[in-house]
Amino acid sequence: MKILVHFKSGFKQTFIVPKCMLAVEFRNIAREIGGNIESIEFSLPPRNQSNISTTELRRRVLQLPDKP
């Protein structure tokens, strides 16, 4: 699942996380990375455009760089 996090500092970061990860667990990880959270947007990537294997998604949270 693709998640965009807006932090109170104005910084925003996109994460790819496993669908099975609890929201509370993800929120804690995101807070450790970027500080206090302003809002979180959830979306699923189109299946035919996903370059990341299901096994890889189950193992860890991936951070994607924001597009300028």
Please state, in angstroms and rounded to a whole number, the distance separating the CA atoms of residues 49 and 25. Answer: 26
Res 6: pLDDT: 94
Res 61: pLDDT: 58
For the chain, the domains span 2-64
List C-alpha distances in Å: 57 to 2, 44, 46, 61.
Answer: 11, 13, 15, 7
> pLDDT tens track of the chain, all 68 residues?
889 999 999 999 999 888 888 888 999 999 999 999 999 888 765 655 455 555 555 555 556 666 55
**Torsion sign (Cα): 41, 47, 51, 57:** positive
Res 42: pLDDT: 82
